[in-house]
Amino acid sequence: MSGYVIETRKITKKYGSLTALDQVSIHVGRGEIYGLIGDNGAGKTTLLKALAGLIWPDHGDVVILGRHEEKALGQSRRQMGAMVEHAGYFPKLSVEKNMEYFRILKGIPGKNRSEDILRLTGLWDRRKSKCGDLSMGMKQRLGLAIAMIGEPQILILDEPINGLDPSGIIEFRQLLHRLNEEKNITILLSSHILSELEQTATIFGFLNKGKLMEEIPIQTLREKCFDDLIITVTDPQTYAALLDRHCSHEHYTIMPDHTIRLAHPTQGAEVYSKLAADHGILITGMERHQQSLENYYMQLKEDACHA
Ligand code: ATP
């Protein structure tokens, strides 16, 4: 067994002549928050639908909780809650009536279950409101609440942050972190904006035109994005020796143009200028070169375009 909670093995899905998914293999470990990133039309919804069992891939396997045979996969999917496309609630019914409907439909015993989830998702005070009257953020919470009814180990959420205002994004993010940390739920969510998931996901999968370009943990992604401080000094050799002595944990290179490049500096620029000043060295220039995660992703897409 692979040990992944969710895995796809080279799944391909075609709609006529259009290849929506092209041999996509994703790997989601237990307890991860997996951010699936891709532009409009990249294939995110198609992939999530394939995981949720709403469509069947033409080729390849979907493996959930280590099982991929049709019957076993169906059983594994009972451990999964999904919010893909629309939540399918009844707009004229109240929040609690909708929750009851889905609880009974899914055969989940105990009325308390709905109450617990409504409290957890911050909808308890709105339980009497008609679903159609809820704000966008509340509707997203309702979608999540419905997905949570069966006490899933896995949550699959298609663009859950779409349309939320900045405070709604923060609240939703906190809610996902709580579900992940307190209930140990593995979460797979999609977005077309990397920065939306930057503070949420523990690992990213970048999907482009139906192909998975890269799967990368957030830590590695941050390390790959360069953040350099370029320092120009009157005496680079002496300054480098000072760095060795006083900032031995720093990684620096003396460049051919005699500037000093500090990679991922750990302290503020003033610390490095003070070090020079204290030893009679003059700093004549200091420049920060950074690449944001968003730029990294743009670069990845550009490379894929020319591959
Ligand atoms: P978005 O961010 O816009 O929701 P997405 O990444 O979720 O995009 P998909 O909805 O998975 O992308 O669509 C991938 C491609 O497959 C698109 O070109 C889309 O037009 C096409 N597609 C999706 N569903 C169907 C369908 N039922 N019939 C034909 N083509 C489809």
Express each pLDDT in 103-121 by its tens digit: 888 888 877 888 889 998 8
**Residue 41, ligand 1, Cβ within 6 A:** yes
Beta strand ranges found along the chain (DSSP E): 4-15, 18-24, 27-29, 33-37, 59-64, 80-83, 154-157, 186-191, 203-208, 211-217, 227-233, 251-254, 260-263, 283-290
Place of tokens 């035109």: 209
Question: How many CB atoms neighbour CB 124 within 10 A?
Answer: 14
**Residue 40, ligand 1, Cβ within 6 A:** yes
Structure token pair of residue 133: 């009257």
Lowest-pLDDT choice from 9-13, 198-202, 221-225, 284-288: 221-225
Helix 136-148 to helix 95-105 angle (10° resolution) is: 30
Structure token pair of residue 153: 């180990």
d(CA 254, CA 239): 10
Binning pLDDT at 50, 70 and 90, where does residue 4 land?
very high
**Residue 17, ligand 1, Cβ within 6 A:** no
148-174 average pLDDT score: 88
Give yes or no for residue 227 having a pLDDT over 80. yes
Place of tokens 């109450």: 115
Give yes or no for residue 135 having a pLDDT over 70. yes
Beta strand ranges found along 57-209 (DSSP E): 59-64, 80-83, 154-157, 186-191, 203-208
Q: What angle do CA 255, 261, 263 make, to 5 degrees?
A: 135
* Most informative mutation of 13, 14, 15 for ligand 1 (most atoms within 8 A of CB): 15
